[in-house]
Amino acid sequence: MSAWVILTLTGAAVQTVRFMLQKQLKGLGLSTGGATFSRFLYAAPITSVLAAIVLWRLGGGLPAPGPGFWGFVVLGGIAQIVATFLTVALFSLRNFAVGIAFTKTEVVQVAAFSAVLLAEAVSLYGWFAILLGFLGVVLLSKGPEPGARNFGRPALYGVAAGALFGLSAIGYRGATLALEPLPFFARALVALAAATVIQTVVMAVWLAWREPGELTRVTAAWRRTLPVGVTGMAGSLCWFAAFALQNAAYVRALGQVEIVFTMLASVLFFRERLLPREGAGILLVILSVVAIVLGFG
């Protein structure tokens, strides 16, 4: 099995754990912004230290990052902040598994972004598989109450989050490529450290301006927020390393297996019950994932 496949599967599993921990932060009285900030606060110093150690072991052979590197990092970092914010907000609108499933439109959007921005074409078969997943999301988008609209606020948040996660994947892929010829793991660590430092600063400034006192609440709850940061850093490192080895469309397509992990977490940990329609929608998403992996392969 290829290294990028193992890294992607590991990243998907760890990210599910991080979302579970982040969902529970809402019970601590943290705002959506505070819960999102916890994702980056502790990751920044950890990744910075790890990157410094790896570069020291390599003899400090870091090529001078150019404007392209920083442009990709800023694109990926800001897009991920807003996408994470929308995902946390989703948790209060629908249940855990369905909320995450909305973001799975990312695979549709990252394929489109790849075709437009990276000139990576998707085959007709690949687009068929992508549309199969979109039909699954349509099933998931209708609320359980009678007369609920097909495309309400949960669907809007999820689709927007998916688009931004797709842009962040392309940004991070570009950032790791800009650091060649460093080894792939070193490129992943340096790009991740740069992104998390930028994200921490941006989020800290935003919270200090818009939500006075929230920074204090996040740090006061460090026993609960630290695991979110650590798992977020570990999952992101797996994703970045996979991006350094393989193009973003392939990585994100395989990463759709996260929905299976999310279903297990929803049922086993949060005791949430899926409606038959939602189960059918998730099944279509899973079938789409399998088909996309085969199509890209």
Counting Cα atoms < 13 Å in the Cβ hemisphere of 230 gives 6
Residue 45's CB is within 10 A of a number of other CB atoms, namely 15
Q: What is the structure's pLDDT at 146?
A: 45
Q: What is the CA radius of gyration of the chain?
A: 19
C-alpha distances (whole Å) from 142 to each of 95, 131, 222, 256 are 13, 18, 37, 21
- Average pLDDT over the chain reads 79
The C-alpha atoms of residue 25 and residue 255 are separated, in whole angstroms, by 24
Q: What is the structure's pLDDT at 73?
A: 95
DSSP state of 60: S
Does the pLDDT of residue 177 top 70, yes or no?
yes
CA–CA–CA angle 60, 64, 65 (5° rounding)? 120
pLDDT tens digits, residue range 18-68?
A: 777 766 666 667 787 887 787 788 889 999 999 988 888 887 556 677 888
Q: What is the structure's pLDDT at 205?
A: 94
pLDDT tens digits, residue range 102-158?
A: 676 777 777 777 777 666 666 777 777 777 777 776 676 555 444 444 456 777 777
Q: What is the structure's pLDDT at 227?
A: 86
pTM value is: 0.79
C-alpha distances (whole Å) from 132 to each of 11, 108, 144, 253, 283 are 24, 10, 22, 13, 10
Counting Cα atoms < 13 Å in the Cβ hemisphere of 262 gives 29
Tokens of 228: 């979110």
Peptide bond into 181 cis (omega under 30): yes
| Domain boundary assignment for the chain | 3-296
